[in-house]
Amino acid sequence: MTADRRHGIMRHPRLAGVIVATRRLALLAMPALASCAASPRPGVTGGIPAGEMAVPRLAALASHGSLAGEPDAALRWTAIPAGATQLRIIVHLHGFSAPGEPLRLVQGRLPGSGLVLPPTPPSIAILPRGRPVPGRPGAFDWPAMGVPGGLQAVVEEALAPFGPRLPAPTHLVLTAHSGGGSGLARILETSLRGALRVDEAHLFDALYGDHGPVLRWARARAADQRPGVPVPALAAIARPGTATEAPSRRLAAGLAQAGLGAPRFRVLLTSAPHNDIPRLFGPSLLADAAAALPATSLA
């Protein structure tokens, strides 16, 4: 698999303002991610075949700088039929690299991300490149996405070249591996301010520090039971005897205290190798967030 820079996504100033405005509202307003599925948007015509591409530059990720030989993001999507009224957005935050090791966003991180998309629902997965952390070789963070409106801007710009054929987003899933967990937690914390509705969170050996943002999101999201709003789900997978076990067990205790349990809210332990966890469990969770996961046990 190689990046196809000829088809990289760039900003398209000529896009109709109404398309951009519709998507911004759908991502910013908490009820809109559900309510916009009621009927197709005017102008949604013609299907889109499944595919993937490298995204050389995204203006919304300008604060992440550039990394030699790497695109700003990679996209993968299912076939999206004409007249579709639902669209699931999946955003995956990658882990760290060994010092001096290339990131290989498209050739390495995308295949190992777990972003194997089932045919339904229509979905677009976005794998953004993190910002190299100054003074910490191999470490990344996601400052552009952890501020109010940041994730929405990334999604909006990534979707823009698809034009009016896309329905407005109806479902948002965040996934993270390893060091990407801190970025996911920050986005969840931001979502609690009411500017964004996250429907699912999948943490692949990615909870190293404070479990509080994830727990607070789970409580708030479970309490949102309005008609038409997707049923939420959380899966946090950790490895026993590693730095992710204790925070994950604290998260499990908090979920139990809040009355949130399996199969929609789970903290799981596995002995699978750290770098294999997204690839082993991500596809099953994207097909069914409540799916039984082999070689795991409840924490």
Determine the pLDDT at residue 268. Answer: 98
Question: What is the structure's pLDDT at 7?
Answer: 30
Total tally of structural domains belonging to the chain: 1
Between CA 286 and CA 114 the distance in angstroms is 9
Range of the domain at 257: 19-32+50-96+107-298
247 vs 10, more confident: 247
Which phi and psi angles does 291 have, rounded to 5°? Answer: -65, 145
pTM of the model: 0.87
Predicted confidence (pLDDT) per residue in 11-63, tens digit: 333 333 333 444 444 443 333 332 222 233 444 456 899 999 999 999 999 99
Q: Is the residue at 283 inside a domain?
A: yes
Beta bridge partners of 177: 204
In a domain, 44, yes or no: no
Closest CA to 250 of 220, 213, 212: 212
pLDDT category at 146 given cuts 50, 70, 90 is very high
Q: How many degrees, rounded to 5, is the angle at CA 170 between CA 169 and CA 176?
A: 80
Please report, for the domain that includes residue 179, its CATH number: 3.40.50.1820
CA distance 289 to 233: 6
Instruction: Specify the DSSP class assigned to residue 197.
Output: -
Question: Stretch 78-84: mean pLDDT, rounded?
Answer: 94
Measured from the Cβ of residue 17, the count of other Cβ atoms closer than 10 Å reads: 7
Q: Is residue 219 in a domain?
A: yes
Asked if residue 37 belongs to a domain, the reply is no
**Residue entry with tokens 């979707």:** 159
Distances in Å between the Cα of 286 and the Cα atoms of 100, 113, 124, 160, 190 are 32, 12, 12, 24, 23
pLDDT, position 22 = 40
88-142 confidence digits (pLDDT tens):
999 999 999 988 888 999 999 999 999 999 999 999 999 999 999 999 999 999 9
First CA to last CA across the chain, in angstroms? Answer: 37
Round to whole Å and give the CA distance between 245 and 262.
18
Q: Is residue 9 part of a domain?
A: no
* 41 within some domain: no
Q: Is residue 146 part of a domain?
A: yes
| pLDDT band at residue 210 under the 50/70/90 scheme | very high
What is the bridge-based pairing of β-strands 123-128 and 88-93?
A: parallel
The answer to whether residue 39 is domain-embedded is no
